[in-house]
Amino acid sequence: TATEATPVARLNTEQLKDNIVRHLHASLGTDVNKASPQAWWRATCAAINEQVFDGLRNTQRTHYEKNTRALHYFSLEYLMGRLFSNNLHNLGLYDQARQALGELGMNIADLEDQEEDMALGNGGLGRLAACFIDSLATLNYPAIGYGIHYEHGLFKQSFQDGRQIERPDSWREYGNPWEICRPESVQEISVYGYVETVYDLQGRMKKVWHPGRIIKGVPWDIPVVGYNGSSVNVLRLWESRASDFFNWDVFNSGGYIDAARENIEAETISKVLYPNDETDAGKELRLIQQYFFVSCSLKDIIRRYKRSHGDDWSDFAKQVVIQLNDTHPAVAIPELMRILVDRAEMQWDQAWNLCQQVFAYTNHTLLPEALEKWPVRLFEKVLPRHIEIIYEINRRFLVEQVDVLWPGDNQKKRKLSIIEEGHDPMVRMGHLSVVGSFRVNGVAEIHSTLVKSDLFPEMVALWPDKFTNVTNGVTPRRWLKACNPRLSALLDKQVGTNWPTDLKQLSKFAAFADDPAIQDAFMAIKQQNKAELASVVKKLTNIDIDPHAIFDIQIKRLHEYKRQHLNLLHILALYRRILQEPDYDMVPRVFLFGAKAAPGYKLAKEIIYAINKIADKINHDKRVKNRIKVVFMPNYRVTLAEKMIPAADVSEQISTAGKEASGTGNMKLALNGAVTVGTLDGANIEIAEEVGSDNIAIFGLTVDDVKALQAKGYNSSDYYYADPEIKAILDWLETDYFTPGKPGELAAIKRSLLEGGDPYLVLADFASYVKAQEKIDLWYRDKTLWAKKAMLNTASVGKFTSDRSIEDYVSRVWQLQKCAVNVK
């Protein structure tokens, strides 16, 4: 029966204390006198889980009883970070837990540090998935996230003589308290083998796939707790194992040792996250990873559907919607076709209809090298039935759609074909995703516009209503409430306590932007956050930074298009000005970087090396008199972001216009009162609209400028010869000034900007960038002016909550109903 109670009961401090101690005894086998911080952390997790599992049971029972339509989010990545304080905050138990632990003699922050980040993602796309499942649970939408239970998440980064070193991440080496293994829901999937054409008694042709390998998928469920006693949804992650059947019995003639080897191969599938964002072309294991989790997930969905509908598929599209997080899970489209046509013996047209009602696709990139393509020959080897199905999807698409709109136009057919012709034909996963989905969205207004105009214009002509925009968002629970408790308390006082679930409430904070007392309070909080970050910096890098300097932060994956090297050129310009003019007047600035480079991305690693070498030189140069400090934080990850973002004064969002699909760090930083220095790219454009042009430093070429410049022919060396400062800086990189005795060690950057043609227009934007930075310097000198701008950033970015993104997906794509959870 429905009650007024929330799905999860609130405990008081005494109850929580009892539960923690009980778990210390009963689950950890230790006691209060000898327990390690790790044991205390585990006992507290177990106590938290009692509440989480109550909510989980109530939610799952309610969804089952009400037979709700549900969203199924398919993503190769979930960048969850830590769950301890997140779960406590969302359960409304954080303060009680801190109190309880305090009374037991423990510091909650020390326990939080016992947890490894759950880093099952590379960057923006994976963290977006994590924010979305938080919002889905908070908003009471029935939803499940599907993905891979990687044994090793994103590599850990350290620096050796300034160069990036990668070490494996073993996040669950000693177990993970948040996950539940569900052996009762194991699935088996097939790969390799061959396809046989057979005819049944009626003479109908049938395709039979004789797989070469069978692999078991074991699901691990991670409860996702909504904020304030709403739903508890699940993230279901598949771990690969050898199938018992195939490996350990008499059918395997290779014997015991061969069987053991096959086990290892099967377990390789979920072994490691690919550390390459943007692209990693043609790797067989990556395709198998994609198919493995997609096939397990579809079988799981169908098993659940059949439990209430039997073999009647007529409600399937009413009950099920699947969101493809980029093209990575797009093999789900031919896989569902295979299940419907080969297994359920459905007519092709009916099956295709169903498919096109179930899938929706989110595009996260326009970069041509990042658009996923798979060699046809790889498909033939790994998924021989699926490539046949893709050919048939393509044949019908070209005949029934393309040739109808553009009769006889072979050029259009070549451009639109799911198969790219050539000596090594490729499957274009973006084309497949558009053709197989009922909706396609980009992740910011400008990006969605470009998806239509530049990427898929003919697809828009075929299906104008298929394309839409959903601007990204971030969860304010993690990215303000939990990570910035001081600012959260001030906001509670000034705008009320509803902002975590109604972020537009923050607009009320604008009324205090000129109030000296609130300005002081706001800036005092920023100062304390900066002091805290300074001690983290000291601990991690042994560099001393002054909390009164401007904290200028660029945190994101390392990529040429994100232009960390533009930031570096500006640092070099300032340094050079100081050397030429010893009293050069500037507000002291600390430039902080956080970024991992894909292990095979040469130039990205050279940029890391250059930043580290230049940092070392500048930080120790007495003539600089601490006007500049440069810090490259090692092992940037969610947990470090949570410490850096609340301390930021300036947010660097400086991608070449048209290249950054959205960005989400830009939103987190503005929310915490940082002023953006940014190009008119991705969500920066919408941030500028919200905060107003006085409260953001926009610079550089626009998307149209970039197109025009590239059309007329961009020549980077023009800028090199025309601007003596640019010339001096680039020439500096060739000397041994920053790498004594080793001239040329930093020359790769200069080469890419000159001989390499500067594909991301760094030199073209340099002068404008320097001006924007001078504006920041000027603004910061006026404390009141700066406080106002920073406060107006926090007050103005309510749009960028992931709750709003989810509501946009619901109305534009998913058509879900909220489902209040009943409590037994």
Q: Which of 17, 127, 156, 364 is catalytic?
A: 364
Q: Are 393 and 401 in contact (CB under 8 A)?
A: no
Of 154-162, 270-278, 498-506, 516-524, which segment contacts ligand 26Q by CB under 6 A? Answer: 270-278
Looking at beta carbons only, is 474 or 644 nearer to ligand 26Q?
Answer: 474
Instruction: Report in angstroms how near the CB of residue 665 gets to ligand 26Q at its nearest.
Output: 8
Distance CA 660, CA 279 (A): 15
Residue 86, Cβ density class (10 Å: 0-12 exposed, 13-18 middle, ≥19 buried):
buried
Please choose, from the candidates 76, 71, 50, the residue with its C-alpha nearest in 3D space to the C-alpha of residue 141.
71
Query: Should residue 662 be labelled a site residue for ligand 26Q when binding is judged by CB under 6 A?
Result: yes
Identify residues 362-421 at the interface with ligand 26Q (CB under 6 A).
364-365, 372
Distance CA 402, CA 410 (A): 10
Active site residue 557: yes
User: What Å distances lie between residue 554 and 448, 590, 682, CA to CA?
Assistant: 25, 11, 16
Instruction: Report in angstroms how near the CB of residue 148 gets to ligand 26Q at its nearest.
Output: 12
Please choose, from the candidates 179, 208, 172, 193, the residue with its C-alpha nearest in 3D space to the C-alpha of residue 87.
179
Active site residue 783: no
Looking at beta carbons only, is 447 or 589 nearer to ligand 26Q?
Answer: 447
Contact pattern from residue 718 through residue 747 relative to ligand 26Q, giving x for each residue in contact according to CB under 6 A and a dash for the rest = ------------------------------
Q: Are 803 and 132 in contact (CB under 8 A)?
A: no
Active site residue 42: no
Query: Should residue 679 be labelled a site residue for ligand 26Q when binding is judged by CB under 6 A?
Result: no
Type of residue at 68? T
Looking at beta carbons only, is 276 or 505 nearer to ligand 26Q?
Answer: 276
Active site residue 327: no
Q: Which of 431, 530, 562, 788 is catalytic?
A: 562
Looking at beta carbons only, is 243 or 365 nearer to ligand 26Q?
Answer: 365
Please choose, from the candidates 20, 108, 48, the residue with its C-alpha nearest in 3D space to the C-alpha of residue 482.
108
Instruction: Report in angstroms how near the CB of residue 363 gets to ligand 26Q at its nearest.
Output: 9
Please choose, from the candidates 807, 775, 797, the residue with its C-alpha nearest in 3D space to the C-alpha of residue 689.
797
Contacts of range 309-314, beta carbons closer than 8 Å, 24 or more positions apart: 311/344, 313/340, 313/344, 313/346, 313/354
Looking at beta carbons only, is 123 or 223 nearer to ligand 26Q?
Answer: 123
Q: Which of 156, 556, 563, 627 is catalytic?
A: 556
Instruction: Report in angstroms how near the CB of residue 731 gets to ligand 26Q at its nearest.
Output: 33
Looking at beta carbons only, is 122 or 612 nearer to ligand 26Q?
Answer: 122
Identify residues 279-338 at the interface with ligand 26Q (CB under 6 A).
279-280, 286
Q: Which of 138, 664, 679, 739 is catalytic?
A: 664
Query: Should residue 123 be labelled a site residue for ligand 26Q when binding is judged by CB under 6 A?
Result: yes
For the chain, how many residues are written? Answer: 824
Output the six-digit token pair for 637: 């990850």
Instruction: Report in angstroms how near the CB of residue 506 gets to ligand 26Q at its nearest.
Output: 21
Distance CA 30, CA 152 (A): 29
Distance CA 262, CA 242 (A): 7
| Total of residues contacting ligand 26Q (CB under 6 A) | 23
> Quick one: which of 682, 810, 819, 821 contacts ligand 26Q (CB under 6 A)?
682
Q: Are 126 and 75 in contact (CB under 8 A)?
A: yes
Active site residue 622: no
Of 91-99, 136-144, 662-670, 693-701, which segment contacts ligand 26Q by CB under 6 A? Answer: 662-670
Instruction: Report in angstroms how near the CB of residue 437 gets to ligand 26Q at its nearest.
Output: 17
Looking at beta carbons only, is 341 or 667 nearer to ligand 26Q?
Answer: 667
Q: Are 426 and 419 in contact (CB under 8 A)?
A: yes
Identify residues 162-191 at the interface with ligand 26Q (CB under 6 A).
none
Instruction: Report in angstroms how near the CB of residue 678 gets to ligand 26Q at its nearest.
Output: 13
Active site residue 17: no
Helices 124-138 and 84-91: angle between axes, nearest 10 degrees? 20
Chain position whose Cβ is nearest to ligand 26Q: 124
Looking at beta carbons only, is 472 or 612 nearer to ligand 26Q?
Answer: 472
Alpha-carbon dihedral angle through residues 541, 158, 650, 567, given to the nearest 10 degrees: 110
Query: Should residue 124 be labelled a site residue for ligand 26Q when binding is judged by CB under 6 A?
Result: yes
Q: Which of 241, 328, 557, 750 is catalytic?
A: 557
Looking at beta carbons only, is 660 or 758 nearer to ligand 26Q?
Answer: 660
Looking at beta carbons only, is 117 or 745 nearer to ligand 26Q?
Answer: 117
Please choose, from the candidates 618, 612, 620, 630, the residue with its C-alpha nearest in 3D space to the C-alpha of residue 578.
618
Identify residues 431-460 at the interface with ligand 26Q (CB under 6 A).
443
The string of DSSP codes covering 292-353 is HHHHHHHHHHHHHHHHHHTT-GGGHHHHEEEEEESSTTTTHHHHHHHIIIIIS---HHHHHH
Name the CA radius of gyration of the chain, rounded: 27
Q: Are 192 and 213 in contact (CB under 8 A)?
A: yes
- 232 phi, psi to nearest 5 deg: -115, 105
- Report the sign of the C-alpha dihedral through residues 242, 243, 247, 248, in that order: positive
Of 163-171, 301-309, 390-398, 654-662, which segment contacts ligand 26Q by CB under 6 A? Answer: 654-662
> Quick one: which of 8, 91, 106, 125 contacts ligand 26Q (CB under 6 A)?
125
Looking at beta carbons only, is 443 or 574 nearer to ligand 26Q?
Answer: 443
Query: Should residue 276 be labelled a site residue for ligand 26Q when binding is judged by CB under 6 A?
Result: yes
Query: Should residue 663 be labelled a site residue for ligand 26Q when binding is judged by CB under 6 A?
Result: yes
> Quick one: which of 58, 86, 122, 295 contacts ligand 26Q (CB under 6 A)?
122
> Quick one: which of 472, 554, 619, 739 contacts ligand 26Q (CB under 6 A)?
472
Catalytic residues: 364, 556-557, 562, 664, 668
Tell me which residues touch ligand 26Q (CB under 6 A): 122-125, 128, 274, 276-280, 286, 364-365, 372, 443, 472, 660-664, 682
